[in-house]
Chain A
Amino acid sequence: MGRPATGRGRRAAADEEACVPGKLKHAGHLIRPAVVLLLGFALFLLVRGAVVPATFGELGHYRAASLDEIRQQAPAFAGQAVCAGCHAGVTAVRASGKHRAVACEACHGPSARHAADPAAVRHAPLDVVALCAGCHEKDSAKPKWFRQVESKEHSGGAPCQSCHQPHKPEF
């Protein structure tokens, strides 16, 4: 050990030692940033796991569970098949008339609650004249094939149902 123990000499000796295979003296410089990076990455994953909703990204860039949530809404209109299920008689009458393609609920309104409990939930009586006029009042913007009348001059104030049966109107 005849070398002078100067600072430069010590550094050179340490460098030599560091270059020995299997011995990494300055490994701390690599390990510390690696640990910091990994901790940061783990933190990112933890925050992401906590913030991003459970089913997000499963089907696309949205929360897949929301599809089922939207489907939970209860229908207000029961559908023609449900009406026909109980009211077979009037359905048959309607089927042979001009109003065969008009669904029951188009005039009678939403009926899912009535269908669920027919005794407790009844339909309010309909204003037949207003209903007829709602579709059949003369209007030059309506298609020409559609039956239209000027109700005042057509009926002279008499209710429509005194001549026409709404479920099977005759002309």
Chain B
Amino acid sequence: MTISRRDLLSQSGKLLILAPVAAVPAPPRRASEDAAAGYDPSRHRWAMAIDIDKCIGCGNCVRACEQENDVPAGFFRTWIERYQVSGADQEHPKVESPDGGRNGFPPSSNSNAKEFYVPKICNQCSESPCVQVCPVGATFDSPDGVVLVDQSYCLGCRYCVHACPYGCRYIHPGRHTVDKCTFCYHRITRGLTTACCEACPTGARALADLKDPRDPIHEFLRVNKVHVLKPHMATRAKVFYASLDGAVR
């Protein structure tokens, strides 16, 4: 068999270019499916506004989340903490969250301490540490800004559980894969609010769409002293707290 160097190189070049085209089937289109469901992820960017001055620690949000998402007992996608800060000792607040606050809190009558409730939930970070450490791409940022978990792809390796600075993830005791707040993705993509926001009696928390110019979040961010949890972690959290005390971790 004789073949010139020029022919050999040009033939193998063509083969190299054509082989992937032949081997990889074209992925099915999904954009049309989303349009059919009437939801366009590119037009939303989900966030949450939490007003500390409105939270009464009733636990409605915790129970609603549990009922909506079948959260196993002893695990929490959202929970409430009660802070008691004595005098000038900002560094050592007393923090309690009996059963995640799902049944409320025993009444306090501490006149010497600064007290308040802090609802906690996945902060839906724009730069999520959990997404960065996932070795298989099972946890990801959705196009509309929600950090989600692909349950059928998660290995249950727990990297993300360790990486989350807010302690918002747990291993589901039945599935042995990671589980977390989805911002009720199945609800918000149908035009409903999250279960916790629906059940909150005082409006302490409100789902927000940063891409909607008419959303009250813009007024909320403008008129309140707003903070996010652990800004030094550079996670660019999207759960915004009004009246958040410096003692909160």
Same complex origin of A and B: yes
A residues whose Cβ falls under 8 Å from a Cβ of B: 22-25, 27-28, 30-31, 34, 38, 41-42, 45-46, 48-49, 53-56, 58-77, 79-80, 99, 101-103, 105-107, 109-110, 134-135, 137-143, 145-146
Cross-chain pairs A/B with CB under 8 angstroms, 18 sampled: A28-B1, A38-B12, A42-B19, A46-B23, A61-B137, A63-B152, A66-B148, A66-B153, A68-B30, A68-B33, A74-B186, A77-B67, A79-B193, A80-B198, A134-B60, A139-B107, A139-B108, A139-B109
Report Cα–Cα, A152/B5, bound state, in Å: 98
Where chain B touches its partner, the secondary structure class is loop
Report Cα–Cα, A64/B109, bound state, in Å: 51
B residues whose Cβ falls under 8 Å from a Cβ of A: 1-5, 8, 12, 15-16, 19-20, 23-25, 27-28, 30, 33, 37, 41, 53-60, 64, 67-69, 82-84, 104-105, 107-111, 115-117, 137-143, 148, 150-153, 182, 184-187, 189-190, 192-193, 195, 198-203
Residues of chain A lying within 8 A (CB to CB) of residue B84:
141
Contacts A31-B8, A139-B108: A75 and B27 contacting too (C-beta < 8 A)?
no
Nearest residue, chain A, Cβ from B55: A143
Report Cα–Cα, A73/B182, bound state, in Å: 11
How many whole Å from A114's CB to the nearest CB in chain B? 13
Would B56 and A65 count as touching, CB distance under 8 A?
no
Going nearest first, the 8 A-B pairs with the smallest beta carbon separation are: A62-B140, A141-B115, A45-B23, A66-B150, A73-B186, A61-B137, A139-B107, A102-B201
How many whole Å from B114's CB to the nearest CB in chain A? 9
Contacts A55-B27, A76-B68, A137-B107: A67 and B142 contacting too (C-beta < 8 A)?
yes
Report Cα–Cα, A138/B187, bound state, in Å: 34
Report Cα–Cα, A73/B189, bound state, in Å: 11
